[in-house]
Chain A
Amino acid sequence: MRISQRTVASGNVLLCVLCTILVVSLIGGNVLLNCITRYNVASSQVRSWKESLDAAETGGDIAYAELRKTISDPTHAFSPSNGWTYSGGAYTNSPVTYGQDNLSTSSRVDPFYYDGNGNAWYRIRTKGTAPVLGLKRVGMDDRMGPNTRGDSLLRKIDFNYDHFVATYGPNGDGVGQTLLPVSKPQVSRRVELIAAPMTPFEAAIKAGGTFYGLGSAAYIDSYRSTTGSYDASVKTNPSDPRYPDSRSGTVEINSSVATIQGSIYGNLYTNGGTVTKKTTSIFGIIDNNVPFSLSPFAMPSTAGWNYVSSPTMITPNTTINPPVVNGVPRTGTAQSPNYYLVASFANNGNLTVNPAVVNGVAQETYVAIHVTGDIGQNTSSQPTITVPANVHLEVYFDGNFQTKAENIINTSGYAGNLQIYAISPTLPNGAPDPSVQQTVNLNSGGGSTSGFSAVFYTPSANFTINGAPDITGAIVCKNFYGNGNVHWHYDRALDSAGDAVDYRILSYVEDIR
């Protein structure tokens, strides 16, 4: 019998080769597995986690846009045609799916607070969901130690069930917890935004267009009426406790065309301007990169206001006394003022609005007047508005406004007690009419003693003020022109006065549960 050992030798070599391949394959396979798992986390899970926040914030943007419509276009705000429903005091929309990654978002908006002006504050809760593609497995980086949690603590992925609904309920308030299966792995993130009403008078002067002013010896400073009357010496006395309130005479200009003269004891913002401290006397911050927009102003809803049928026109001698209801003069409230609809305001009209008096004591009285035309039609017009103490008057007008500064008489000295609003011109279909240029023209006939205390919100009007009156108040306008040595005092208490003209997001919280 012949025995060959050649087979054994060949087998050893083959075994060695196989072992080597096995070892290398094990190493490679292990690393490949790790890489795939981590790639899965980095490519799919991290991406989905970030995208779900994008989706949640998109939901916030959608809800915020609807909220802004409550000011600019109330009839179309939270419209059912856009998927919104109102139930239980809150607006909710059906989930919106968008983008090539099929992100979805839904929102819930409810008012949770009303401020002293009757403006609603809204809470916007949104949920954004992104599908998790790739392998249906967790990451491998939670392994750092006994007290260490890594990815799973940060990124909560719902592989089979919605953990949030199961633990906290669909609204996160502990009601209605249920085991809700998900059709495919997903990540959901939730944010809560607080939309605060923007009141009109947050700066001494806010111009949506160009700015020229004021005189070379003019100045703009500030004070806070709730802590005392105006004192011109405070702004240069750092030891005075009122000093911080004296340097908020801020001017905001949404244009690069800004000719700044005089002194500004506050900040100056322009949109692309070239203002520097070397060329101006500005004691606050100069920022030439602050764009903003002023929305056209529409007449607020008068539903809920106390309509009073007379007078319907302002003559040279018109006095408005509060209506008497059940033997008591009605004072109205900020949310529900006594409301008069006036068709004409004579060029030489004199309007006096008296407070309600009960048992000989003047009451805080709230009045709103809508003038569906001009208040003063030419430079010779001298209409007068007189507001005694305790009266809070809001004047809305559709046309132009022209008078002498000294004809605006606000006895209390608090500018917030006389608020003048210019309703933006519109086309018959309700859209803004850019072909009509509103104007507000104030002339000063008596120098510094001819000043006034009032606020103007005229976002579509060109505002011109001549002379050098002392002004306490604030102005929002389109283009601003003032050539006099005005002493302008902005009252910081105004930053919470007036009707909402827009909304801003004041708070942002992510619900990280």
Chain B
Amino acid sequence: MKLKTSPSIAGFTLSEMLVSLSLSSIVLAAAITCGISLQKSFNAVDNYFSTQMQQIRIIDYLNRDVKRGLVVTTSVDLQSVTMSVPKYIIQAGDPEAIADPESIGMPRTPTVAYTPSGWQVNYSPSTTTVVYSISGNSILRTENGVVTTIASSTDQLVPQSTDVELSNTEYANTSVTFLPIFTSGGAVAERTGTSMYATAYLRNKRRG
């Protein structure tokens, strides 16, 4: 049997092949480039959103502790905050916990004392020290020596807190910035454009 060869499925000429290969390469390159760009853009957006969540978390943590803080101080470089907060909850190792292990995790009953500075409410003879600081790539919250990493600084998260003390009140201003991974040639706005601000007043401020 003899197969009939149709002229319409005849082979390509070399020139046709070259042209088609060139066009295909261009289209493929464009598609790959677009894909990579899309991936980068999506990654950048994802990263931006993720880091913004960390900004919110840092500020929420900080504000929660500042509000119940008795004393708040910020470091000279504004990148660490130290505060004393009441020891409201009985923790393992506390005298109450040793006397009654069942009391661990339970709140204390406040006591009242009159001092040269006036009346004071105390939950425990000592207070809890909470420190917020940057360590390497992490933002740390240290409570009585127990360290919790509350945010990753691989995105160059930088919190800055300013403690403002007035005659009749005190508050802490905090801003958190980060450097997004899509950049525009090192413009200052790359970082400042990500700023998130918060102000928290000390509800427990103690005066000396």
Contact = CB atoms under 8 A, between A and B. Distances in A.
Interface of A: 2, 4-6, 20, 23-24, 27-28, 30-31, 34-35, 38-39, 41-42, 46, 49-50, 112-113, 115, 121, 123, 139, 141, 144-145, 147-151, 153-155, 167-168, 172-174, 192, 194, 196, 224, 244-245, 267, 269, 285, 287, 290, 495-496, 505-513
Contact of A511 (B42, B107, B114, B166): B107
B166 to A, nearest CB: 8
Given A141-B50, A154-B57, A285-B167, A31 B45 contact: yes
A287 B168 contact: yes
Contacts of A196: 112, 119, 121
A505 B205 CA distance: 11
Nearest to B64: A510
Interface string B1-17: 00010100100000000
B193 interface: no
Nearest to A285: B167
23 contacts: A23-B35, A27-B35, A27-B38, A34-B49, A112-B109, A123-B110, A148-B152, A151-B53, A154-B60, A172-B106, A173-B107, A192-B107, A194-B110, A194-B121, A245-B116, A287-B167, A496-B119, A507-B121, A508-B67, A508-B204, A509-B88, A510-B68, A513-B105
A506 B204 CA distance: 7
Contacts of B42: 27-28, 30-31
Contacts of B68: 508-510
Contacts of B88: 192, 509, 511
A508 B123 CA distance: 11
Contact of A496 (B56, B109, B114): B114
- Chain A at the B interface: mostly helix, strand, loop or mixed? mixed
A38 B49 contact: yes
Chain B contact residues, majority secondary structure = mixed
Indicate the member of A5, A42, A150, A172 with the most B CB atoms within 10 Å: A150
B111 to A, nearest CB: 8
A509 B86 contact: yes
Interface string B140-168: 00000001111110000000000000111
B39 A173 contact: no
A31 B121 contact: no
Contacts of A173: 106-107
B167 A267 contact: yes
Taking each of A38, A121, A123, A244, which has the highest tally of chain B beta carbons within 10 Å of its own beta carbon?
Answer: A38
Interface residues of B, number: 55
Contacts of A151: 53, 57
B60 A144 contact: no
Interface of B: 4, 6, 9, 31, 35, 38-39, 42-43, 45-46, 49-50, 52-54, 56-57, 60-61, 64, 67-68, 85-86, 88-89, 102-103, 105-107, 109-112, 114, 116, 118-121, 123, 138, 147-152, 166-168, 203-204
Contact of A34 (B46, B109, B116): B46
A2 B9 CA distance: 11
Contacts, number: 141
Given A144-B151, A155-B60, A495-B118, 5 more contacts: A27-B42, A31-B46, A285-B167, A508-B67, A511-B89
Nearest to A33: B46
B106 A35 contact: no
A150 B148 CA distance: 9
B126 to A, nearest CB: 15
A496 B116 CA distance: 11
B80 to A, nearest CB: 19
Nearest to A150: B57
Contacts of B121: 194, 196, 506-507
A320 B46 CA distance: 83
A20 B32 CA distance: 9
Contacts of A496: 114, 118-119
Contacts of A39: 49
B9 A41 contact: no
A244 B109 contact: no
A509 B151 CA distance: 24
Contacts of B54: 141, 150
A144 B149 contact: yes
Nearest to A4: B9
A183 B203 CA distance: 33
